[in-house]
Structure 1
Amino acid sequence: MPLSLSRGTRSRGFTLIELLVVIAIIAILIGLLLPAVQKVREAAARAQSQNNIKQTLLACHNGHDTTSYLPPVVSFWWSNPTNFTYSNSDATFYFSLLPYYEQGAISAGISNWGGSGLGQVGSTGKAAMSFPIKILTAPNDPSGGDGIFARGFNADWMWDPAKSAGGVDVALCSYACNFQVFGRPGQNANDPWDWQNTAGKSTLQGISDGTSNTIFVAEKRKACGPAGTPNNSNTFGTAWGHPADDRYWPTFARIPVSTGVPVDQRQFPVPQFAPTNANCDNYRAHGMSSGVIMVGLGDGSVRGVSSSITQATWSQAVQPRDGSVLSSNW
């Protein structure tokens, strides 16, 4: 005779209350786990940004070994460019370093305007400054979308087909160089906006404060402005190879708080930490998180600088020849 289960021995499922309790426990566990996961992601992004900055520092030193000079913030054919032999026209800091990023094919392939980021690379129809460079993009940079300012530059004197197409793309980056090191701010000390101040002929030996006490490179957002995108006329940004518009020069510490003191004693605004699109100041460096900004020092080391840093200490670290000792909050 076949066996059968009686009504009293049927298996019992979860009640609604038990199911809700299980869901609540899972939700609590997820809530506890998410901050830890976010911290791991931030740490990984910060480590990648450190490595990117390190590559730029190595490129600076290799370039200096080859040419005896550090690269310029920006140089122009009419403003006494530096002895970086592969930057004999209009160049930026990063354009000058292309051969040391193993990106020399970009500058070597220019078929017009040799030595300029505005030149066309071969028959591509693209300017040198239109090509994105991965190690110049911070993984935790929230700005600038895909990092391309579409048709971001145009001028009557440009080559075709770029001119007829409405301009060339401008590739953005997440890092900038220290103007006080790579520029020549004393050229026209009374006017820090003067483009004659840009093409420095700096050397490592000329950094009297010591390379371990001087910031060379820092993080800076790709896009900066009310719209939060580089395609808006009110938006500034950071472009690795764009020399023609100072709204996009890859630099910081250019404009001092006051010009009423000697050049080497001037102070500069502290970086902004995780600024919003509305309050972003393009002439400062930008930390990608609310608590720290990654900077590279002249000795090749990379470190985080806390948001508690004072203007005086930041200025001491920015100035290569002020003769001061870094304060305790460094």
Structure 2
Amino acid sequence: MSRPFERSRRGFTLIELLVVIAIIAILIGLLLPAVQKVREAAARMSCSNNLKQIGLAIHNYHDQNDKLPASRYGDYSDGAAFGGPFYSSSSWSFLALILPHLEQDNVYKVGNIPTSTLAASPALGQSIKTYLCPSDQMSSIRTFNARSRYSQTNYVVGLTNYKGVLGSNFNYGDYANANPAFVNSGDGFWGANGLFSLDRWKTSVTLVGIADGTSNTVMVGEDIWTADYANGTQPGNGFSWAHSVEATLTCAMPPNYIKHANGVPINTTSLDQAEWGSYHGFKSKHTGGVQFVYADGSVHFVRDSIPLSTYRAMASYAGGEVLVDAP
């Protein structure tokens, strides 16, 4: 009997395999940027939600106390207040005061906030997920054995990417604001013109008292991790959500301003002691800008290209400035 025709079978040649591998590599190369963009979009949305929750917690605190939360701080004009400026004091931040409104009432109560000192409170080392941006490495570090200029010794602290707006007046670094209106109003930490000036506890602010308008005034923005800034190896202010100074920044310099030394961004290596004053601005890992929650509770992406005068105006709550090209 004659057999039906059988087609011979053969495997891929080496050249064909190399071509297939090359095509797969190209496809992966095309796909990875898209995947990274999707991941960053999701991380940015999560970050926005964190800020939204913080803004809502601030509003809930206001509704309950008839004023905005004010960080407690023994400052230069009243160094004895709350026991002084260090972790041996009860200089708790506004982020600590709003914990009950973030479903963190247990941390607040067990930590005996705000009457306990920071050093003696078990709340100091607690990681609060809402205070961490998923785009920044701080979200994976979560806690840190820090020695900031305020701890004086090593303490495990819960970290924060989100910090309150001091204002726009600042007397240090490349963007020192020499506006005569600010000369007698402190150094940009206390006596500042924003909602979370460190002496705001002396004169509380209500939402109605935000003369510039709640939709024009920024409350809380982002910061990014730098190990030297968290530690005492340089004069770092730290990233503890619990401490009043470590939970604040200024809008005196542009968003994402990073001082460069010899062409290398300081935040990727170490903080130059001489550039301490230039490191107090808001920064993020989101390309092209920083997210803020405004006093009306809305969250906006503020681009790096925003005019500095507009950015500074958004940081004051009763400056009477006219905003140009605001988000």
Counterpart AA for 2:119: L
Match of 1:42 in 2: 40
8 Å CA contact 2:90–2:117 kept in 1: the answer is yes
Aligned equivalents of 2:295, 2:215: Cα separation in 1:
6
Distance 1:155 1:22, change over 3 A: closer
Q: Please say if 1:169 is aligned against 2:164.
A: no
The Cα shift of 1:89 comes to 4.3
Report how many aligned residue pairs link the two structures. Answer: 285
Alignment of 1:306-317 (within 5 A): 306-317=303-314
Counterpart AA for 1:93: F
Q: Please say if 1:136 is aligned against 2:131.
A: yes
8 Å CA contact 2:138–2:161 kept in 1: the answer is no
The Cα shift of 1:80 comes to 6.2
Alignment of 1:116-127 (within 5 A): 116-120=117-121, 127=122
Distance 1:27 1:112, change over 3 A: closer
TM-score, length-scaled by structure 2? 0.75
Alignment of 1:181-200 (within 5 A): 189-193=185-189, 198-200=198-200
The CA deviation string for residues 267-324 of structure 1, in whole angstroms up to 9 with x for no partner, is: x111216864248753111022231211111111001111211211111111111212
Alignment of 1:1-330 (within 5 A): 9-76=7-74, 89-110=90-111, 114-120=115-121, 127-143=122-138, 146-150=141-145, 152=147, 167-180=154-167, 189-193=185-189, 198-200=198-200, 201-221=204-224, 223-224=225-226, 227=228, 230-231=230-231, 233-234=233-234, 235-243=236-244, 246=245, 249-253=246-250, 268-272=252-256, 276-278=267-269, 281-328=278-325, 330=327
The Cα shift of 1:144 comes to 7.7
Distance 1:152 1:144, change over 3 A: farther
Aligned equivalents of 2:210, 2:320: Cα separation in 1:
10
Distance 1:59 1:155, change over 3 A: closer
The CA deviation string for residues 178-224 of structure 1, in whole angstroms up to 9 with x for no partner, is: 1139xxx9796144355896131222121101000000111112x33
Aligned equivalents of 2:113, 2:323: Cα separation in 1:
46
8 Å CA contact 1:98–1:107 kept in 2: the answer is yes
Match of 1:162 in 2: none
Tell me the percent identity.
Answer: 34
8 Å CA contact 1:118–1:128 kept in 2: the answer is no
The CA deviation string for residues 13-63 of structure 1, in whole angstroms up to 9 with x for no partner, is: 111111111111111111111111111001000000000000110111111
The Cα shift of 1:152 comes to 3.6
Aligned equivalents of 1:212, 1:116: Cα separation in 2:
35
SS state at 2:29 partner: helix
Aligned equivalents of 1:29, 1:45: Cα separation in 2:
24
Aligned equivalents of 1:273, 1:112: Cα separation in 2:
34
Aligned equivalents of 1:287, 1:155: Cα separation in 2:
24
Counterpart AA for 1:172: L
Aligned equivalents of 2:81, 2:231: Cα separation in 1:
32
The Cα shift of 1:12 comes to 1.6
TM-score, length-scaled by structure 1? 0.74
Aligned equivalents of 2:322, 2:270: Cα separation in 1:
32
